[in-house]
Structure 1
């Protein structure tokens, strides 16, 4: 027979299995940092583009910055596609 005390003891014993660990929080931190880096890259493209229009930045630097931003954007889109694909796969799982 299950009593309140038995249930509480079982909960205490199983609690560590569902608690977030340090590695999970570091993963979240890295994802947040990656998002900040992406935003900074896009801000740099805006700044360099404005500088190129005013003549303060060389065309070579503008092309290089745009190429870097394109690689960054392709990476972000690829990651987004994989996340969406994984989410859709989870939705297709039978319950």
Structure 2
């Protein structure tokens, strides 16, 4: 199993818990806003970690395995963000096509 498959499987496993609502909890705007904020924070942390690992590898000769892992996670995060953006744009375009 390559690094991408492993990271994708790990990310999928973590995402499954996010799709199920908590027992007895009703969805509210603040929960959705908090979830979105947490997703953005997680994305930012992942990208910054990849940048730190790349700088460390170039300057101090850090562990190449850690660098590859961090860059693969960063690539997966960017691909996920692009996919979400594309879906939002598609939904917006679909709303624009609705007859009034």
Is 1:30 the counterpart of 2:35? The answer is: yes
2:56 to 48, 51, 67: 51
Counterparts of 2:75 and 2:46, CA distance in 1: 10
The structure with the greater share of residues assigned to helix is: 1
Q: Report which structure shows greater RCO (CA 8 Å, sep ≥6).
A: 2
Unaligned runs of 5+ in 2: 1-25
Q: Structure 1 residue 24: deviation in Å? A: 2.0
Unaligned runs of 5+ in 1: 1-20
Counterparts of 1:53 and 1:79, CA distance in 2: 32
Which structure has the larger Rg?
A: 1
TM-score (norm 1): 0.73
Return structure 1 stretches of 4+ with deviation > 3 angstroms. none
TM-score (norm 2): 0.69
Q: CA RMSD in A?
A: 1.5
Q: Structure 1 residue 60: deviation in Å? A: 1.1
